[in-house]
Structure 1
Amino acid sequence: MKIAVMGAGAVGCYYGARLAQHGHDVVLIGRPQHVQAINKNGLVFESAGTVLNIALSASIDPTAVAGADIVLFCVKSTDTQSAGEAMAPHLSPDAIVLSLQNGVDNAERLGTVIGRNVLPAVVYVAVGMAGAGHVAHFGRGELVIGPGAQSEKVASILRPAAIPVDISENAAGALWAKMILNCAYNALSAVSRLPYGELAKGEGVMTVIENVVAECLAVANAINVVVPGDVQAAVAGIIKTMPAQYSSTAQDLMRGKPSEIDYLNGYIVRKGGALGIATPANQVLYTMVKLLEMRPGQEGTV
């Protein structure tokens, strides 16, 4: 299969690497520094104590999606519209497009831009870019997608490439469950510049997290979204399964980039406001990250 990854950051590089390892024709579409490094030396793929160089194609040009059977759309939520518009004219008529993004409305927004159905995928993976063309995998890697013929086809391709896929009738609820995890930890990790395991030791942190989660669940309930599983247990479990992981929001701010906070805590604040539901904990975290984004010189190290 030809597979294009639109947005070759950490998530896109990870799944692209897995698929290339399994023999698929993968092209990564990303930023110049990563593309140049990958085309010169291959993608450096670090996982489970091993480091591999994986040969695959990379491009800065959205036209590289042409001819792809599957497109993994992995850009930041802030870039959904612009990236969608750039690739739309070059998509094959039968291409299956998956949104592997944070937030709950990207698949719908992208579908409007490109004029076709987009499969939402919930991503559970701990990864980061350790350098130009160098992705480091810290844990997990499973996806949750909705039901349908396209989903079955996608699962049949991804599963043999060591990518677990769960096809769920409640993909919308799964998206919300993932967003709630992000709302609970992303801003706190960004503000403290600490990984999950360390920030959880802070005085009052777990109380703040409990309040954030309660507000998110109140908003979800008001719009009839059924969030599956034990959300509180899932939130607590992140500390054990990803103790050394910095949130994507923290990584963005440390690199001087805008974050996706508008589509996480900011989304809850907006929805809550429209529904008359108070969301003070989310509001404070959202505001703190927005203030940090205003400051120059946010670059640091992860």
Structure 2
Amino acid sequence: MKICIFGAGAIGGYMGAKLAEAGAEVSLVARGRHLAAMQEKGLTLIEGGETKTFSVHASEDPAELGVQDYVIITLKAHSVPAAVGTMQPLMGPETTIVSGVNGVPWWYFHKLGGRLEGTRLATVDPGNIQWDGFGPERVLGCVVYPAAEVIAPGIVQHVEGNRFSLGEPDGTKSERAIALSKALTAAGLRAPVRPRLRDEIWVKLWGNLSFNPISALTHATLDVLCTDPGTREVARKMMLEAQKIAESLGVKFPVDVERRIDGAAAVGPHRTSMLQDLEAGRPMEIDALLSAVQELGRLTKIPTPNIDTVLALVQLRGRVAGLYT
């Protein structure tokens, strides 16, 4: 089984290191100083007080790696469309694309059924680049839970979590999903195959669509924005709007809004990924987390006044910073 991780930064590097440790045939696509360090010295993983270095096949050019059985995409959502053409040498007739990307996935309405079956989302797949370039039939969904950080070129520090939930768009337990699950499990990762992966997508998105932009606008950490009465109420209203949209599409939430916010507050003084990107001068991941939910609101005819307001503010914040177009 040949596995390529496309976008081997923090999460992709963590997964790649675990697969390499287990002896899997894994290759990594990365760039810049991080790539150069992996090519020269190997990929170092710091986990649980241990530091291990693995020799990995890392390249900036997918053509060097050949056709893969699985291509696991761990880029930020806004970076994927521009990379579709680059990924073509990795894909053969049986290649599975594993979409480990945050937010509303571009393939959301593939095999969902109902009146919106096959609908394409312009906010996350402008010009249908992924739909046409990958093909939705290749996709295996993935919800990424671990937290990791690239602390220096070629060095990834695992912070917490080891679950990568997998799921077919139609909810079946396919052979390709089970095979990948076994490979990830052999690498010491948790990889359950879920019949209702969209439920998990929404539970994670529920927090990302509210906490991320509020933190970027206020520079508050999770514990602060979830306990301040004003920002907690803004987050709650955004989440309730999103919940109406999701439930209209058949999603079931296992927890209520208050418990979800309390859980985020309990994480402590954590800076969300969007705040980290803003402070580091990296492009902000706004569309997959927020614009796409607004688009879903329009499709389902469910008003999103609070989401609309926060989206307008964070989009302008990103433009002023030169980190969103």
- The normalised TM-score by structure 2 is 0.83
User: Which runs of 5 or more residues in structure 1 are unaligned?
Assistant: none
Residue 297 and residue 85 in structure 1: after superposition, are their counterparts in 2 closer, same or farther (change >3 A)?
Answer: closer
Residue 144 and residue 111 in structure 1: after superposition, are their counterparts in 2 closer, same or farther (change >3 A)?
Answer: farther
Residue 10 and residue 96 in structure 1: after superposition, are their counterparts in 2 closer, same or farther (change >3 A)?
Answer: same
The aligned counterpart of 1:123 is 144
- Give yes or no for contact 1:25–1:56 (8 Å, CA) kept in 2: no
The aligned counterpart of 2:200 is 174
Aligned letter for 1:239? A
- Give yes or no for contact 1:174–1:227 (8 Å, CA) kept in 2: no
The aligned counterpart of 2:63 is 63
Q: Once superposed, what is the RMSD of the aligned Cα atoms?
A: 2.2
Cα distance in 1 between the residues matched to 2:150 and 2:321: 22
- Give yes or no for contact 1:29–1:64 (8 Å, CA) kept in 2: no
The aligned counterpart of 1:49 is 49
* Equivalent residue runs for 1:10-159 within 5 Å: 10-107=10-107, 110-115=130-135, 116-146=137-167, 147-159=173-185
Cα distance in 2 between the residues matched to 1:245 and 1:52: 26
The aligned counterpart of 2:218 is 192
Cα distance in 1 between the residues matched to 2:228 and 2:64: 46
* Residue 284 (1) aligns with residue 304 (2): no
Of 256-265 and 277-286, more deviation after overlay is shown by 277-286
SS of equivalent to 1:166: coil
* Equivalent residue runs for 1:263-282 within 5 Å: 263-282=288-307
How far residue 231 of structure 1 moved from its aligned partner, in angstroms, is 4.4
Cα distance in 2 between the residues matched to 1:281 and 1:77: 23
* Residue 260 (1) aligns with residue 289 (2): no
How far residue 261 of structure 1 moved from its aligned partner, in angstroms, is 0.8
Cα distance in 1 between the residues matched to 2:283 and 2:319: 9
Aligned letter for 2:204? K
The aligned counterpart of 1:3 is 3
Cα distance in 2 between the residues matched to 1:198 and 1:45: 31
Residue 171 and residue 66 in structure 1: after superposition, are their counterparts in 2 closer, same or farther (change >3 A)?
Answer: same
Cα distance in 1 between the residues matched to 2:17 and 2:24: 10
Identity percentage of aligned residues: 27
Residue 60 and residue 238 in structure 1: after superposition, are their counterparts in 2 closer, same or farther (change >3 A)?
Answer: same
Aligned letter for 2:202? W
Of 66-75 and 199-208, more deviation after overlay is shown by 199-208
How far residue 78 of structure 1 moved from its aligned partner, in angstroms, is 1.2
Cα distance in 2 between the residues matched to 1:183 and 1:207: 14
Cα distance in 1 between the residues matched to 2:221 and 2:188: 26
- Give yes or no for contact 1:26–1:57 (8 Å, CA) kept in 2: yes
- For residue 318 of structure 2, the aligned residue among 269, 279, 293 is 293
How far residue 178 of structure 1 moved from its aligned partner, in angstroms, is 1.8
- Give yes or no for contact 2:62–2:89 (8 Å, CA) kept in 1: no
- Give yes or no for contact 1:126–1:245 (8 Å, CA) kept in 2: no
How far residue 227 of structure 1 moved from its aligned partner, in angstroms, is 3.0
Residue 197 and residue 151 in structure 1: after superposition, are their counterparts in 2 closer, same or farther (change >3 A)?
Answer: same
- Give yes or no for contact 1:177–1:231 (8 Å, CA) kept in 2: no
